Amino acid sequence: MCGLTGVIAPHPIADLAAAIAAMNRTQHHRGPDQDGLFVDPSGKAALGHKRLSILDLSHGRQPMSDAEGILTLVFNGEIYNHNELKAELIAKGHPIKTRSDTETLVYAYKEWGAECLPKLRGMFAFAVYDKRDGSIFLARDRLGIKPMYYGRHDGALAFASECKAILAYPGFPRELDLQALSDYFSLMYVPAPKSIYKAIRKLPAGHWLKAVPGGEPVIRAWWDLNFAEAPEYRGEADLKRAQEELLACLEESVKSHMEADVPLGAFLSGGVDSAAVVALMARNSQRPILTNTIGFSHKAFDESAYAAETAAALKTQHRDFRVEPDAIASMETLSWHYDEPFADSSMIPTHYVCQMARQQVTVALSGDGGDENFAGYRRYLFDRFENRVRGLVPSALRRPVFGALGAVYPKADWLPQVFRAKTTFQNLARSPMAGYFTSLTHVHPAMKAALFSGDLKRSLGGYDSLSVFQEHWDRCKSDDSLSRVQYLDFKTYLVDDILVKVDRASMAHSLEVRVPVLDHKVVELAARMPSNYKLHGGASKYVFKEALRPILPAGIFNRRKSGFSIPIEHGLRGEMKEFARAHLFDAGGAASLGLFEPAGLKRLWDEHQSGLRNHAFPLFSLLSFSLWHARFMGAEIALPSSLPTTAAAATIAQGNP
| Digit-coded pLDDT (tens) for 561-570 | 655 567 788 8
Residue among 10, 145, 15, 124 at smallest CA distance from 74: 124
Domains defined along the chain, listed by start: 2-221 (3.60.20.10), 236-375+487-558 (3.40.50.620), 378-445+462-478 (no CATH)
Q: Which residues are catalytic?
A: 2
- Coil, helix or strand for 487? helix
Decide which of 625 and 333 is more confident.
Answer: 625
Backbone angles phi, psi at 547, to 5 degrees: -65, -35
Q: What is the pLDDT confidence band of residue 645, given thresholds at 50, 70 and 90?
A: very low
Q: What is the C-alpha to C-alpha distance for residues 480 and 92, in angstroms, rounded to an integer?
A: 44
The most confident of 480-484, 568-572, 637-641, 645-649, by mean pLDDT: 480-484
Alpha carbon of residue 564 to chain centroid: 14
Name the residue type at position 221.
A
Q: What is the C-alpha to C-alpha distance for residues 557 and 538, in angstroms, rounded to an integer?
A: 14
| Digit-coded pLDDT (tens) for 34-77 | 889 999 999 999 999 998 777 666 667 899 999 999 999 999 99
With contact defined as beta carbons under 8 Å apart, do 618 and 475 qualify?
no
Q: What is the C-alpha to C-alpha distance for residues 411 and 48, in angstroms, rounded to an integer?
A: 53
pTM: 0.91
Dihedral of the alpha carbons of 462, 466, 467, 473, in degrees to the nearest 10: -160
With contact defined as beta carbons under 8 Å apart, do 431 and 471 qualify?
no
Q: What is the pLDDT confidence band of residue 642, given thresholds at 50, 70 and 90?
A: very low
- Mean pLDDT, all residues of the chain: 88
Q: Is the pLDDT of residue 286 over 50?
A: yes
Decide which of 424 and 42 is more confident.
Answer: 42
Name the residue type at position 307.
A
Residue among 569, 380, 397 at smallest CA distance from 481: 380
Backbone angles phi, psi at 120, to 5 degrees: -85, 135
Percent of the chain scoring above 90 in pLDDT:
70
135-140 and 71-79 as β-strands: parallel, antiparallel, unpaired?
A: unpaired
The residues near 540 (Cβ < 8 Å, ≥ 6 apart) are: 374, 375, 376, 377, 378, 380, 381, 534
Q: Is the pLDDT of residue 316 over 90?
A: yes
Rounded mean pLDDT, 287-305: 79
Percent of the chain scoring above 70 in pLDDT:
87
- Coil, helix or strand for 309? helix
Alpha carbon of residue 443 to chain centroid: 20
Residue 548: left if φ>0, alpha if ψ -120 to 50, beta else—which one? alpha
Residue among 383, 588, 552, 368 at smallest CA distance from 484: 383
Residue-level pLDDT at 397? 59
Residue-level pLDDT at 653? 27
Q: What is the C-alpha to C-alpha distance for residues 210 and 150, in angstroms, rounded to an integer?
A: 11
Q: What is the pLDDT confidence band of residue 332, given thresholds at 50, 70 and 90?
A: confident
Give strand pairing partners of 320: 293, 655
Residue-level pLDDT at 328? 75
CA distance to 410, 417, 424, 426, 586, per residue, from 420 (Å)? 9, 5, 7, 10, 35
CA distance to 403, 595, 599, 619, per residue, from 623 (Å)? 33, 14, 16, 6
Residue-level pLDDT at 94? 97
